[in-house]
Structure 1
């Protein structure tokens, strides 16, 4: 049985949803961020970066969200969450998954923690503002891809649902407090809504206590 160390709505949401999609047995292990459990010695033995999530698979302790998702997809190919290795479709899948994990997600971390890159509150505010602008540009690139990829925007990385769609949904949810969240873009709005409607995604939301609206703040008119 897998164990997934998680905190509601954090980067653990994507592998949690992947676990639900593949139908594997797993246990959720809550990491109490309010009390810095992710910085405790036992947790740092699992993930020296102190970030969430960690997946335990037998003797393997794996961190980094994209790595966990890829590992699960490769361990359960019957679930069809990634194209066949070596295929052109797999190359495009890698491209978009890496874009999400190393470009969009990284900029979102800057948006949420601007004080790490500034010496005072004014500097942090400036960093946050620029990060939001850059995130907007990245979302525009994904919006254009969904508009023109030939499948009606149903999937990001090819002709079939994949863990890239799950990953995109998670990151789009993180933008819900922005002036122009992901859900303000029509193709992204349709895409993330259809992903969120899947039974496996709804189960992961329910287990983490995530309630609608999923991609905008209550009372928002973004959509």
Structure 2
């Protein structure tokens, strides 16, 4: 089993899942040129990470990959629990992070063509994005007031939020008013699997 990843990208989540599973796997760091190459596009026409290859089976999209790994290795409890309701709750938060919060970060990394070269419009788009991201992160912060994690224990959902908090720091978003994130980050980084992936991806 092989995972293609960009350091610090959302592929950090399945990378951590593979560490938690504890079975042999390969992880190959790729760059922007690699994921647009004909060879890579043949496996993932979106030209994005993560990409998981298991034998002759290639799978993209985080939720699909995480569900596949969870089905193969239920003992790892990647969603924090194997009960239907607990997994559903963790999956709900994962869907929110993957579909809503992740998408809101897009203007920081890739501007629409009509905004390129227009400084005023770029600033406006990114300010709107910042407001949107912070609004949604506040929802996550509120949850952490009464919960240590987004599953019954540390799970892939938490790692997704942790990854995006790294993006927030990278693009200069101030989340200091969201006071539960500091201890949350500390709890996530205390995990041996997360720590191993941080080392592998050059993030530590």
TM-score, normalized by the shorter chain, greater than 0.5: yes
Deviation of 1:112 (Å): 2.2
The yes-or-no answer on 1:202 pairing with 2:195 is: yes
Query: In 2 relative to 1, CA 18–88 (structure 1 residues): closer, same or farther, beyond 3 Å?
Result: same
The structure with higher relative contact order (CA 8 Å, sep 6+) is 2
Unaligned regions of 5+ residues in structure 1, if any?
212-223
The yes-or-no answer on 1:78 pairing with 2:75 is: yes
TM-score (norm 1): 0.84
SS in structure 1 opposite 2:180?
Answer: helix
Q: Distance in 1 between matches of 2:10 and 2:3?
A: 11
The yes-or-no answer on 1:172 pairing with 2:165 is: yes
Name the residue aligned to 1:46.
43
Bigger shift: 94-103 or 66-75? 66-75
The alignment of Structure 1 onto Structure 2 pairs a total of residues equal to: 201
Query: In 2 relative to 1, CA 116–62 (structure 1 residues): closer, same or farther, beyond 3 Å?
Result: farther
Q: Distance in 2 between matches of 1:172 and 1:143?
A: 11
SS in structure 2 opposite 1:176?
Answer: helix
Name the residue aligned to 2:10.
11
Unaligned regions of 5+ residues in structure 2, if any?
none
- Alignment deviations for residues 56-106 of structure 1 (CA, whole Å, 9 cap, x no partner): 012210111222122212211111122336x22222122101000000001
Q: What does residue range 202-221 of structure 1 map to in structure 2 within 5 Å?
A: 202-211=195-204
**1:142 counterpart (137, 140, 143):** 140
TM-score (norm 2): 0.91
Q: Distance in 1 between matches of 2:76 and 2:159?
A: 14
**1:190 counterpart (177, 183, 189):** 183
Deviation of 1:30 (Å): 2.2
